Amino acid sequence: MFKKILIANRGEIAVRVIRACKELGIKTVAVYSTEDRESMHVKLADEAICIGPPEAKKSYLNLFNVAQAIANSGCDAVHPGYGFLSENPNFVRICDDLGVKFIGPDAETMERLADKAKVKAILDENGIPTVPGSRGSVDDEDSLIRVAKKIGYPILLKAAWGGGGKGMRVVRSENELIDAFRAAKLEAKASFGRDDIYVEKFIEHPRHIEVQIIADEFGNVVHIGERDCTLQRRHQKLLEESPSPVLKEYTRKKLHHTAVEAAKVLGYKNAGTLEFLFDGEDFYFIEINTRIQVEHPVSEMCYGVDLIKEQIRVSAGEELSFMQSALEPQFHVIECRINAEDPERFYPSPGTVKGLYIPGGPGVRVDTAVACGSKISPYYDSMIAKLIVRGGSREEARKRMLRCLDEFVIEGVKTTVPFFKKILTTEEFINNNYDTNFIDKRFLGRG
């Protein structure tokens, strides 16, 4: 087992990893920008190293500065969390060169799986259901027109590298196609440094469902159920729940089996997530995430496992501590991402937290790095906390979440707490009758 782990991240995920390490008896090293000098993750770690000024590109994304911290820390492993350098194969190679273990997949795997178009083609060839579309990226406009005609409109143009809705365009007719293609390529190039675009059939009213998997070095791959991530704003997840309330048991088992088989085909090791679209009848693979996800606590509370500890164990060369037969969902779990944003316009709301009351009680978990007096910085992501609740049924979990949102007091900054109260009391959420476009249409007047 590792003796010392450096956490190459900040905020609540850094705190989450530090706590798991403490319970495993592992020393921790925090890295921080000058903006984060008084942050919770710095105070909780055994050691802390400053890696630069507030701007992320000069600190948390600065490969040289982070590498220097690793070299000076004497750590034997690095946990990247999510975001920042977590899916950067060059960072993995730096860790290898420094003789420390990167807690995640190796650089070759990460690089190979970053190309969504190629991953889709590999899985197509191995019988894994994917959204109908192009085999790999589309290189020119003539090929694009042919592919679009073959699969039929509407279609979706997607950046082969990256995510978050960047480089994505819905096209409903050939008249829109070329302009949308050029715009998608420009946005993809600006966002990810690559302008490769591939084409998929656009599914009009999908649910977005992902399967959590973890794999060790001995060929064992297990799933830890699925998470329904359908409630999104402009392709950004806001609320997740598990189990998905739309899947029948036969479909659920088939989805889990498909995810495990896909992970094996791709040769994936460590924790990862396979994402699917579900149209009410069939599901289709769309991408794999080669990191721990923001919403991993949903699976942890549903199945009673600790994914961060398991990540660390398998990275240290141990076998998985549980087999598939031991994993069963125990509760219905819902997570809301509480952001420092204006709940009406979704503009960031940086500032100082002047008052804070965190809800509690049976079946309640709050992952946060914020305390009274904490500064919500304009330099980083606006997430304040993840509020996760469990119940014996979906309705019990929904009512518990509403109770916790009523109790959650965050003074000094605007938050999305009121927005989640609206969502959870809509007829659509209560009756489980919505798709990925619901929030954009109902609350933002889009689509």
- Whether 124 maps to a domain, the answer reads no
CA–CA distance, 90 with 352 (Å, rounded to integer): 35
212 and 177, same domain (yes or no) = no
- Whether 109 maps to a domain, the answer reads no
195 and 213, same domain (yes or no) = no
Question: How confident is the model at residue 117, as a pLDDT?
Answer: 83
> In 350-447, where do the E strands start and end?
351-352, 355-357, 364-368, 375-376, 383-391, 409-411
pLDDT band at 61 (very low <50, low <70, confident <90, very high): very high
190 and 240, same domain (yes or no) = no
Q: Which helix (H) or strand (E) holds 102?
A: strand 101-102
Percent of the chain, pLDDT > 70?
99
Report the candidate in 88, 110, 103, 89 with the shortest Cα–Cα distance to residue 4.
103
148 and 23, same domain (yes or no) = no
- Whether 111 maps to a domain, the answer reads no
Question: How confident is the model at residue 346, as a pLDDT?
Answer: 84
> In 103-205, where do the E strands start and end?
155-159, 169-171, 197-201
For all residues of the chain together, what is the average pLDDT? 95
- Establish whether 291 is a catalytic residue: yes
- Whether 173 maps to a domain, the answer reads yes
Q: Span 292-296, mean pLDDT?
A: 97
CATH number at residue 169: 3.30.1490.20
Q: Span 328-335, mean pLDDT?
A: 97
35 and 144, same domain (yes or no) = no
Domain boundary among 87, 103, 119: 103
Question: How confident is the model at residue 447, as a pLDDT?
Answer: 56
Q: Is the pLDDT of residue 49 over 90?
A: yes
Question: How far is residue 147 from each of residues 139, 177, 200, 438, measured CA to CA in Å?
Answer: 11, 11, 9, 29
pLDDT band at 444 (very low <50, low <70, confident <90, very high): confident
Question: How confident is the model at residue 301, as a pLDDT?
Answer: 98
CA–CA distance, 355 with 38 (Å, rounded to integer): 17
- Whether 114 maps to a domain, the answer reads no
Percent of the chain, pLDDT > 90?
89
112, 169, 233, 291: the active-site residue? 291
pTM of this prediction exceeds 0.85: yes
- Whether 447 maps to a domain, the answer reads no
375 and 307, same domain (yes or no) = yes
98-130 pLDDT tens trace? 999 999 999 999 999 998 888 988 999 999 999
Q: Span 236-265, mean pLDDT?
A: 97
Q: Is the dihedral of CA 254, 255, 257, 262 positive or negative?
A: positive
CATH number at residue 366: 3.30.470.20
Give the range of the structural domain holding residue 358, as residue numbers without chain letter. 207-442
**276 vs 139: which has the higher pLDDT:** 276
Q: How many domains does the chain have?
A: 3
Question: How confident is the model at residue 62, as a pLDDT?
Answer: 98
Domain boundary among 201, 234, 256: 201
pLDDT band at 422 (very low <50, low <70, confident <90, very high): very high
234 and 382, same domain (yes or no) = yes
419 and 335, same domain (yes or no) = yes
303 and 419, same domain (yes or no) = yes
CATH number at residue 90: 3.40.50.20
Question: How confident is the model at residue 278, as a pLDDT?
Answer: 97
Q: Is the pLDDT of residue 390 over 90?
A: yes
Question: How confident is the model at residue 191, as a pLDDT?
Answer: 87
216 and 183, same domain (yes or no) = no
122-172 pLDDT tens trace? 999 999 999 988 888 898 999 999 999 999 999 999 998 877 778 899 999
CA–CA distance, 18 with 298 (Å, rounded to integer): 19
Beta bridge partners of 276: 209, 285
CA–CA distance, 70 with 93 (Å, rounded to integer): 13
420 and 289, same domain (yes or no) = yes
- Whether 16 maps to a domain, the answer reads yes
- The conformation of residue 324, written as its DSSP 8-state character, comes to G
Q: Is the pLDDT of residue 361 over 60?
A: yes
Q: Is the pLDDT of residue 412 over 70?
A: yes
Min mean pLDDT across 17-21, 169-173, 242-246, 342-346 is at 342-346
* Kind of pairing between the strands at 383-391 and 364-368: antiparallel
147 and 274, same domain (yes or no) = no
CA–CA distance, 278 with 262 (Å, rounded to integer): 17
Radius of gyration of the chain (CA): 21
Domain boundary among 185, 201, 217: 201
- Whether 117 maps to a domain, the answer reads no
CA–CA distance, 354 with 111 (Å, rounded to integer): 43
